[in-house]
Structure 1
Amino acid sequence: MKLRRLDLTWLMLMVATLVTWLIGDLDQGRARVPAAAMLTVALITYFKGRAVVLDFMDLRRVKVFWRGLLLGWLIFVLGLVALAYWLGLRA
């Protein structure tokens, strides 16, 4: 059986989901999540979102506008989450 790119992407998404779940489970019960854990989860989330956009939505071979629009939206949302985290640290 030959593994296709989509199969490997799906496997990577499952492993990344497990890793983020484990990170969240380790920090359970703490009032504040360490910045390193937040950054790790944010980076994993970016790469998962990128994989979904490029492979599952099949935007890898389309014009740059559509890829940029969706990846830019992903970066914008992650930036808002990071801003909310940072403002929460200051409160």
Structure 2
Amino acid sequence: MRLKREDLIFALLALATLASGWLGEGAALQGQHLGTLATLAVLGLSGIKGAMIALDYMELRHAPAIWRRAVMGWLMVVLGVVALASLVSTG
């Protein structure tokens, strides 16, 4: 049996979700704030997950470039604002 692209992407999304949850819950169980490196790792995983969802499940990979750029740009802006807010609040 050969895996389809969608199956592989689903597995990667699930693994990224588990990794993000593990990082976040580890800090919460210790009663600490998520460290800067862990925060950036979670945001990086979120960016990868968002890109995979947008490009493959929303089928933007084959859409006109303007739509791909708009969605991916929006994703980067949102992640950048969250990263900046996180760095300002911890620094």
TM-score for the superposition, normalised by structure 2: 0.92
Partner of 1:86: 87
Counterpart CA distance in 2 for 1:36 and 1:86 is 10
Aligned length: 89
Partner of 1:12: 12
Counterpart CA distance in 2 for 1:33 and 1:59 is 33
Instruction: For 1:7-86, list aligned pairs within 5 A.
Output: 7-28=7-28, 29-30=31-32, 32-86=33-87
Counterpart CA distance in 2 for 1:33 and 1:13 is 21
For structure 2, list consecutive stretches of 5 or more residues without a partner in the other structure: none
TM-score for the superposition, normalised by structure 1: 0.92
Q: Percent identity?
A: 37
Q: Output one character per residue of 1:53-91: Cα deviation in whole Å (capped at 9) or x when no partner.
A: 00000111122111110011101111111121122124x
Aligned to 2:85, what secondary structure does the other structure show?
A: helix
For structure 1, list consecutive stretches of 5 or more residues without a partner in the other structure: none
Contact 2:36–2:87, Cα closer than 8 Å, also in 1: no
Structure that is richer in helix per residue: 2
AA aligned to 1:78 is L
Moved more, 54-63 or 81-90: 81-90
